[in-house]
Copies of this chain bind each other. A is one copy, B any other.
Amino acid sequence: PFFTSSALLHYLKKKLVYDHKKLIHSLKVGVALVLVSLLYLIDPLYEQVGENAMWAIMTVVVLFEYSAGATLGKGLNRGIGTVLGGGLGCLAAILAQKLNWVGSSIVIGATIFIFGAAATYSRLIPEFKKKYDYGAMIFILTFNLVAVSGLQGEKVLLLARERFATIVIGFAICVFTSLLVLPVWSSDELHSSIATKFEILASSIEGCSEEYFKPVDGKSNEVTRSLDGYLSVLNSKAKDEILGNFARWEPWHGRFGFYHPWEKYLHIGQLLRELAATNLSLKGCVCSPRQPSTITLRCSIKEPCEAAASLLACSLRELGDSIMQMKKCDQGELILAKLKATCFKLNTSVSVTQLCATENNTDGLAMATFVFLLMEMVD
């Protein structure tokens, strides 16, 4: 039993270091759930809100997301959707109450159909969906519930107000635990994920060049390392867009202002993905069976290529650092000049080439120069 418990402890410790953000998030959700359950557990509170406390619990469960931006965005969506849907639903219910039974049923049925179909259609428009998908869903739900409840002769306005109040309580608990206690910011994640991509690509380019000019034995190790790197960059579009979307909802905090240019991050991400695609070709080239197998032929172009690769990696790292620390890259002009010079040297020294790797390298260099120019504009 001692062995297993110590192994368990060790495992938990490892987990704790590795996944501590996830663990903290889980514990925060637990705390928020207990807090909102107090509405039921403490009798005086329960007498105030009654069965509507259910809506507060629902709000907490549904709204509490991993990052602060996601929680806020969902919460605001839910608020807007509830107010709009509730308002229109009340209007429809009041209108219907003035008619006889058949008339009111038809009116309610028709408005539910029209608003439901229209809101669903708007959810399928990509630009709208990106930001307000959840709000539209809540709109449909609230409108429908309020409209039909009104038909059953309840005090619609009172009911709507009480539910809204409990939703606000749930939202407040969410914001409190999500934003004030150890928050996880999407903006931080986007910022550092973009900055680390530079590092990944840099080491991947270095790996390729090392691989190419190395003796033939012990090949497999290096290759897999670089392969993993650029593939993760290549496939990062969806994740970046989600983070960028959440980051827009996040208020001023830390080093980020209200109007931080998140679109530029996404733009840089796109350029890095194109660089990663070029890197994939370079990699395919290095591993191609069509390459000359003799080392001597490869070595004839070793020097300028290695210089180019290391300079490229170096400038990528420099750029990544300057983005990470959010300061203007002061050696910008210098690096740009160096890159151009190396590019020229590479071009002249391997002008009559038989190896595609070098050509591809030039290509990668050209890409990098392009990326670099854009980076200059951003910083």
Residues of A within 8 A of B (CB): 22-23, 25-27, 29-31, 33-34, 37, 40-41, 46, 53-54, 57-58, 61-62, 64, 66, 105, 108-109, 112-114, 116-118, 120-121, 124, 137, 140-141, 144-145, 147-149, 151-152, 234-235, 237-239, 273-274, 276-278, 280-281, 284-285, 288, 290, 347, 351-354, 356, 359-360, 362-363, 366-367
B144 pairs with A37, CB closer than 8 A: yes
17 extra interchain contacts, Cβ-Cβ under 8 A, other than A237-B237, A238-B238, A278-B284? A26-B121, A30-B117, A40-B149, A41-B108, A46-B152, A58-B141, A62-B137, A234-B277, A235-B237, A274-B284, A284-B366, A285-B363, A290-B347, A352-B352, A353-B353, A356-B363, A359-B359
Distance in angstroms between the alpha carbons of A235 and B238 in the assembled complex: 8
A288 to B33, CA, bound (A): 58
Q: Known contacts A120-B29, A151-B41: does B280 contact A57 (CB below 8 Å)?
A: no
Query: Does B54 lie within 8 Å of A145, measured CB to CB?
Result: yes
- Cβ of A27: which chain B residues have Cβ within 8 Å of it? 117
Residues of B within 8 A of A367 (CB): 284
Q: Which of A105, A277, A356 has the most CB of B within 10 A?
A: A277
Residues of chain B contacted by A235 (CB below 8 angstroms): 237-238, 273
Q: Is the Cβ of B148 less than 8 Å from the Cβ of A37? A: yes
How far is B185's CA from A296's CA once the two chains are assembled, in angstroms? 57
> Does the CB pair B356–A354 fall under 8 Å?
no
- Contact sample, A vs B, 20 pairs, CB 8 Å cutoff: A23-B121, A30-B112, A33-B112, A37-B108, A37-B147, A37-B148, A40-B148, A41-B105, A62-B141, A64-B120, A237-B237, A238-B238, A238-B239, A276-B277, A277-B280, A281-B281, A284-B367, A352-B354, A356-B356, A359-B360
A356 and B352 alpha carbons, distance in the complex (Å):
11
Asked whether B61 lies within 8 Å of A234 as measured between CB atoms, the reply is no
Nearest CB of B to A82, in Å: 13
B237 contacts A25, C-beta separation under 8 Å: no
A174 to chain B, nearest CB (A): 13
